[in-house]
């Protein structure tokens, strides 16, 4: 996996900024995994996709995730830090197989992990319950045949197995509010978080390119190709 920096960072930002958040994550990975097509990434199980995104974050932006969340009780902003290695270990500890098979009421059922393609297919369904049923229907087969979403409504066993299958795709952070001491578990949206970091990094790089190009007349390519250390050295000279 290559690091997301320089012209590669700008290309990823340019390609992804007007697309759906799920496609943004896939396009970021497409820039750092040469030879891997978007469709291949869309078909990866969500757990594997999230692991790749965490590895991308580590190689491109450092080993520690830093962010904030608002307390659900009093609204106080809470900062948090999470080592990427710990996040990867947590996902690995919860990892489930990529599919499950079982017998139920005389039928053979097979369920696979959902993919980004599955989520995209359900993204336009505004009713939450209908979207969940449609997602389940895409991931499950009964005796080798697909099943109608309506047949899954209220099927507690199917939903329980679906949750078990995706435990390794979810990352939760335990946060304690410093103001009201309320403790809560927050679901960490890896795809959205990595996209925000990539977007912010690209915008900072564009600002650096603008400053150096205006002063020295260098091209975007020349400035983006510099190492961050060299680029920062020139920016310090400008501000001296």
Nearest to 26 by CA among 58, 59, 48: 48
Residues 17/28, Cβ–Cβ less than 8 Å: no
The pTM of this model reads: 0.88
Give per-residue pLDDT as tens, 20-63: 888 999 999 999 999 999 999 999 999 999 999 999 999 999 99
Q: Are residues 88 and 105 in the same domain?
A: no
State the first-to-last Cα distance of the chain, in angstroms, to the nearest integer. Answer: 37
Is the pLDDT at 238 greater than 90? The verdict is yes
Q: What is the pLDDT of residue 107?
A: 81
Which tops the pLDDT comparison, 221 or 129? 221
For 215, the domain range is: 6-66+83-92+188-239
Q: Are residues 150 and 87 in the same domain?
A: no
- Does the residue 135 lie in any domain? yes
Q: Are residues 88 and 103 in the same domain?
A: no
- Does the residue 221 lie in any domain? yes
Kindly state the tokens that stand for 234: 């020139």
Q: What is the pLDDT of residue 32?
A: 95
Give per-residue pLDDT as tens, 188-232: 889 999 999 999 999 999 999 999 999 999 999 999 999 999 999
Q: Tokens 């990975």, residue?
A: 29
Domain count, the chain: 2
Q: Are residues 108 and 43 in the same domain?
A: no
Q: Name the most confidently modeled range: 92-106, 124-138, 219-233.
A: 219-233
Give per-residue pLDDT as tens, 137-193: 889 888 877 667 567 656 788 888 898 888 878 888 888 898 899 988 888 889 999
């Amino acid at each position: 996996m290559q690091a997301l920096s320089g012209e590669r960072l700008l290309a990823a930002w340019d390609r992804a900024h007007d697309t759906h958040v799920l496609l943004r994550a896939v396009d970021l990975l497409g820039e750092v995994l040469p030879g891997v097509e978007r469709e291949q990434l869309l078909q990866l199980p969500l757990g594997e996709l999230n692991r790749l995104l965490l590895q991308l974050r580590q190689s491109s932006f450092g080993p520690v995730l830093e962010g904030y969340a608002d307390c659900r009780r009093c609204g106080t902003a809470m900062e948090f830090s999470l080592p990427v290695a710990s996040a990867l270990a947590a996902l690995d500890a919860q990892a489930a197989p990529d599919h499950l098979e079982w017998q139920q009421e005389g039928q053979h059922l097979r369920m696979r992990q959902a993919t980004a393609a599955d989520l995209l297919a359900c993204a336009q369904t505004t009713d939450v319950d209908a979207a969940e049923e449609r997602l389940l229907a895409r991931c499950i087969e009964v005796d080798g045949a697909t099943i109608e979403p309506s047949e899954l409504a209220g099927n507690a066993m199917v939903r329980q197995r679906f949750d078990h299958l995706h435990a390794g795709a979810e990352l939760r952070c335990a946060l304690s509010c410093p103001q009201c001491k309320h403790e809560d578990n927050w679901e960490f949206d890896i795809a959205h978080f990595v996209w925000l970091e990539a977007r912010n990094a690209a915008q900072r790089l564009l600002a650096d390119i603008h400053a150096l190009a205006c002063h020295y007349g260098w091209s975007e390519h020349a400035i983006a190709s510099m190492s961050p250390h060299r680029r920062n050295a020139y920016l310090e000279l400008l501000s001296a």
